[in-house]
Amino acid sequence: MRILITGADGQLGHELQQTLSRHDLTLGIYPTFDLLKPEVESFVMDACPDVVIHAAAYTNVEQAEQEPDVAMSVNADGTERVARAVSKIGARLICLSTDYVFDGQKKVPYEETDPTNPLNAYGRSKLEGERRALACCSNTLIIRTAWLYGLHGNNFVKTIMQRAVEQKELRVVADQRGCPTHAGDLAAVIAQVVKIDLRGIAHATGDGSCTWYEFASKIVALMGVAIAVRPITTEEARRAAVRPPYTVLANRTLAQLGITMPHWEDALVRFMQEMRAAAC
Ligand SMILES: NC(=O)c1ccc[n+]([C@@H]2O[C@H](COP(=O)([O-])OP(=O)(O)OC[C@H]3O[C@@H](n4cnc5c(N)ncnc54)[C@H](OP(=O)(O)O)[C@@H]3O)[C@@H](O)[C@H]2O)c1
């Protein structure tokens, strides 16, 4: 199968490259592939893929508050460019999105059909990207994921691991609950989804849920370092972007197809082993 991966140099993109290596891959890498430029359409069409996995995005949630127009241009206008090109060549689009399309007011896991209401600029730009993708390309699957971490790039797990050896105490938000997701596990699910005709929206996150505080505590415990992890509130964290308090996603669509994801704690144990192996 011919597959174009956008954002191939990102956290998920790297895992996709490995997981899908037996396919004929074209890699969309910034700045050669720039979602802000109209040439994106010809890039997609020239690659002539069967499937485009659109993982490229403006992903800095805090910075998006300072430059919401840029986030919107990349995540909505850029996604529309990709979707138009995919539609023109009769290919299929798998477009990555986020749990931050929800406002976090629910107390039970969000399903794919639940109403959206993003609270921050990043979430609004990703939701608009979802809408444009679905409107411009009938053969689109939106995959919403969350709290992603992988070997490549910066993420929460790596930040906690670094701070745990540099600082005496960690203060971590304990009133936001979500689903940590191993990027390799997500890539494996996407590799399964590539083979089936699935359209619409599917949630794909690690099984189970935790708060950032619980997530950090588990990372520190697995490291075996004696450092205090203190719970703080979202207010105390003083972040620019408003964060939804609860974005646990139910992977309902995938479950109906018999596709499951590992529990976040098991995935984290595996990831820490992968980190150690990569360091050797
Ligand atoms: N990370 C998470 O926790 C999380 C959670 C939910 C959903 N998601 C979604 O999952 C997908 C993959 O996330 P990720 O963690 O792999 O993100 P990532 O590591 O930040 O990768 C995104 C990639 O997009 C590229 N990019 C940025 N601006 C671009 C532009 N104008 N044109 C083309 N490419 C551009 C980046 O290039 P540079 O590095 O050169 O800027 C990077 O390679 C994204 O759609 C994201 O919104 C992520």
Series of mean pLDDT values for 10-residue runs along the chain (280 residues): 98 98 98 97 97 98 98 98 98 98 98 98 98 98 98 95 94 98 98 96 98 98 94 95 97 98 98 90
Distance 115 CA to ligand 1 centre (A): 24
Residue 105: predicted pLDDT: 97
Residue 259: predicted pLDDT: 98
Residue 279: predicted pLDDT: 84
Give the CATH H-level superfamily of domain 2-155+180-207+249-261.
NAD(P)-binding Rossmann-like Domain (3.40.50.720)
Provide the residue ranges of all domains of the chain, joining segments of one domain with +: 2-155+180-207+249-261
Q: Which two tokens stand for residue 86?
A: 């995919």
Distance 164 CA to ligand 1 centre (A): 26
For 235-249, how does the pLDDT look when each residue is reduced to its tens digit (9 = 90+)? 999 999 999 999 999
Q: Whose CA is nearest to atom 15 of ligand 1?
A: 11
Is the CB of 12 within 6 Å of ligand 1?
A: yes
Residue 140: predicted pLDDT: 98
Distance CA 145, CA 111 (A): 12
**Quick check: 182 and 137 in contact, CB under 8 A?**
no
Block residue for tokens 């992988």? 150
pTM: 0.98
Q: Which two tokens stand for residue 82?
A: 């990709």
Is the CB of 187 within 6 Å of ligand 1?
A: no
Distance CA 65, CA 199 (A): 31
Distance 66 CA to ligand 1 centre (A): 18
